[in-house]
């Protein structure tokens, strides 16, 4: 279960990194790979909060109640990011300028910060379990 969350997180982070480079190219036409990266990110965003919940439950079931409010934040940020990503995917051409505006979206940036926080929580929990054994 944590693997699913981490795979989703990686897909979103890889897309963002690709988009940063793509935006810097300043092209008006659509590059060959951009749509594929965004489609993978969209798939990863759909159901992200449940995947995160599953990962946190697996890592430390007793702390899930303490995480419920943050899971609601992740759900909101993921849904807001997905709405922006789907709007970009609906365009016939994905230009660098369009991607630059998507990169600047506060929703996407907030989601990335959420992911980094959860990844650190999971990493800390794994480190603690390793020390205990």
What CATH number did the domain enclosing 26 receive?
A: 1.20.120
pLDDT < 70 stretches in the chain: 1, 126-133
- The pTM score is 0.89
Q: Is 99 in contact with 23 (CB distance < 8 Å)?
A: yes
Q: What is the pLDDT of residue 131?
A: 62
H-type helices in 24-105, by residue range?
34-45, 48-59, 64-89, 96-103
Question: Number of folded domains in the chain?
Answer: 1
Distance CA 52, CA 20 (A): 25
- What tens digit of pLDDT does each residue of 93-112 get? 999 999 999 999 999 999 99
- Return the C-alpha torsion angle 107, 52, 34, 83, nearest 10: -40
Angle formed at CA 18 by CA 37 and CA 80, multiple of 5 degrees: 65
Find the domain containing 53 and state its range. Answer: 2-132
């Amino acid at each position: 279960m944590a693997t699913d969350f981490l795979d989703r997180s990686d897909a979103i982070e890889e897309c963002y990194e690709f988009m940063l480079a793509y935006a810097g190219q300043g092209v008006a036409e659509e590059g060959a790979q951009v749509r594929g990266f965004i489609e993978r990110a969209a798939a990863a965003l759909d159901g992200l909060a449940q995947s995160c919940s599953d990962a946190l439950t697996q890592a430390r079931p007793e702390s899930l109640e303490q995480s419920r409010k943050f899971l609601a934040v992740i759900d909101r940020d993921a849904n807001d990011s997905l709405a922006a990503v789907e709007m970009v995917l609906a365009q016939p051409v994905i230009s660098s300028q369009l991607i630059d505006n998507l990169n600047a979206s506060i929703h996407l940036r907030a989601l990335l910060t959420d992911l980094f926080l959860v990844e650190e929580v999971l990493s800390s929990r794994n480190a603690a379990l390793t020390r205990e054994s």
